[in-house]
Structures are given as C-alpha cells and as structure tokens.
Structure 1
Amino acid sequence: MFQIDIVEQCKRNDRKAQLQLYNQYCQGMFCVAMRFLKNEDDAEDVVQESFIKAFLRIGQYKGEVTFGAWLKKIVVNKSIDFLKSKQLKTVELDEVYMHVAEDEDWSVEDTVTINEVMHAIIGLPEKYRYVVQLFLVEGYDHNEISEILDISYTACRTRLLRGKGQLKEILKSSKYVARS
C-alpha cells in the first residue's frame, strides 16, 4: 500500500492505518528524539506526544514534503519544547543587528568519530547546540531552522557560526580538530 493511501486513511481516522504509520516511523522518530533528549523515557514520551499531535493534525498535512519529514519536524519541535520546559531560566540575546561572516568550513581530522562530534555538541550552550544539531545532524537549512526555533535568519546564521567555532574549540581542546 502506498504511503499516500495510508495517510489518506489516517485522515479518515482509520486506526489500522495509524498503527501502520506508527510502526513505520516510530523507531526513526525515537532516534531523532534521543539525539536531543539523551534519555529513553523522555524520548519515548516525546515520540508518543508527537504521534498524537500528528494524528490530530493530519488534516493539515498537504503532501508538500514526505510524511516522515513532516513528522520529524513535529518530533524536533516537541523535543526542543520538552528541553525548554526543563529549563527554569534562559536569557535571550538580541542578535538582530549582528553581522554574519561566511564560513562554511566544517572540516575536522579524519580520526574524529561521529560520537566524538555528538559528545562535543552536547557541550555547547543551548542556543548554539540546537542550531548546530539541526544543521549538522538533522540536515535542516537556515530557513527551516529559523522557523523551527522561531528566530531570525540572521540569528540562525550567527548562532551556527558561533556554535561551530565553539564546537571546534571543544574538539581542539580534545586534540581532535585539524589545526589551520
């Protein structure tokens, strides 16, 4: 059965079709949530809430992107919302007037593993960590990240540049990054 057919059945509140979509995407969405939350119980909760939200709002799904991409955005937003709800105090810096330098170099030594990079990303401040993770790990572009995090395009690029700089410093202090 084609995915479009399953989605259309879900729009008619077909529980079998919902279970089929859930089974198809739950493991992948769990992995997405785990990359943000680092806790299996929290990730399971976020995935469940994300599927509930997706099925409640499936009428809004227009097929402009794959169902998986649409669902992934819900999981990412739910994960970030969950993390924000655990934070008692955050300070927002107005980055609207900041100039962004172009620096697309993300190279590190060949010996650096993805686990080492992921561990280093965890060490970034929250506002940089989310942008770097969404860009490097989840593959979103600046416009998508700006929309997900509800920040300006300029703030997104600034945070990505600064986050990348801090990420390189973390890796450099661990003697992982190429010195240039």
Structure 2
Amino acid sequence: MLQIDIVEQCKRNDRKAQLKLYRQYCQGMFCVAMRYVKNADDAEDVLQESFIKAFQKMDQYKGEVTFGAWLKKIVINKSLDFLKTKQLKVVELKEGYMGVTLDEDWTVSDGVQYKEVMIAITKLPDKYRNVVQLFLLEGYDHSEISEILSISTTACRTRLLRGKGQLKQLI
C-alpha cells in the first residue's frame, strides 16, 4: 500500500492506518526527540504527544513535503515546547529597578588570536553564546537581538554583559 493511501486513510480516522504510520515512523522520530530532550522517558512523552497532534491535524497535511518531514517538524516543535516548560519561570525585572551597566569595552590582550576567541565563544552557555554571536559577529543591536530571541532588551543586555565576562575568563 502506498504511503499516500495510508495518509488518506488516516485522514478518515482509520486506526489501522494510524498504527501503520506510527510503526513506520516511531523509531526515527524517537531519535529526533532524543536529540532535543536528552532523556528516553521525556522523548517517549514528546513522541506520543507528537503523534496525537499529527493525527488530530492530519487534514492540514497537504502533501507538499513528505509525511516524514511534516511529522518531524511537529516532533521538533513539541520537543522545544517541552524544553520551554521545563525551564524555571523567571520574573522579568524592569530596567528602573535594576540598572544595567553598559560595558562597551571588547578589547582583549594583543596576543589573543581570532581563532581562540571563536573557540571560547563556542564554550559559552547557549543563552550567552547566542547573544554574543548576534552582537559581535552579526552586528545586531539589543532591540534586534531581543526580537530574534524573544527576550526583553534588558535580558539581552544582561546576557551580553555576562557572556562577555565569561568570554574574558575563558580567554
């Protein structure tokens, strides 16, 4: 039976067709989820939620991409959603409550090579590395970075300042 036929049967809520698709894709999609959530139990939960969503939204699958690619996008989004919910909830402080000092000095010792700086940037935690790369390498300003990363400009400034401090320690 062709995959397009199985998908069409799934659109009609055929449980046997859904089981066929599940068996065909579950191992591959489990690997995708594991790359993000890094825990087998959590990956299984993400996988289950992804298939449920896929079967509920099957009418939205138009065949413009392969079913596997469409499902993979759902798995990745569910994995990212899962990771977001596991993070601690942070209360944003208004700039008026806490002053953020601007330290625009990015100079390093004369003996430091460009390659050393690039290697040190890769060692920063993700939240600092992303801001430092966007600021230093891509040339974005705080408002642009905050929009790209969906964070406040205060958080952007703070992460840049902390990232720069860690970067100087690494160098």
Alignment TM class, shorter chain as reference: 0.5 to 0.7
**Residue type of the alignment partner of 1:76:** I
Which residues of structure 1 form unaligned runs of 5+?
93-116, 129-151, 158-165, 174-180
Corresponding residue for residue 126 of structure 2? 124
Secondary structure of the 1:125 match is helix
CA shift for structure 1 position 125? 2.7
Calculate the TM-score normalised by the size of structure 1. 0.54
Distance 2:89 2:70 in 1: 30
Aligned pairs (5 A) from 1:36-115? 36-89=36-89
Distance 1:127 1:90 in 2: 19
Distance 1:46 1:127 in 2: 27
Which residues of structure 2 form unaligned runs of 5+?
93-121, 131-143, 150-162
Q: Deviations over 1:99-130 (max 9, x none)?
A: xxxxxxxxxxxxxxxxxx9xx79x523994xx
CA shift for structure 1 position 30? 0.5
Q: 1:90 to 1:50 in 2, by over 3 A?
A: same
Q: CA RMSD in A?
A: 3.9
Q: Deviations over 1:10-64 (max 9, x none)?
A: 0011111100000010011100100000000000000000000000110110001
Distance 2:76 2:11 in 1: 22
Calculate the TM-score normalised by the size of structure 2. 0.56
Q: 1:125 to 1:23 in 2, by over 3 A?
A: same
Q: Which has the larger radius of gyration?
A: 2
CA shift for structure 1 position 87? 1.1
Distance 1:39 1:16 in 2: 29
Secondary structure of the 2:8 match is helix
CA shift for structure 1 position 88? 2.0
Distance 1:13 1:88 in 2: 38
Corresponding residue for residue 16 of structure 1? 16
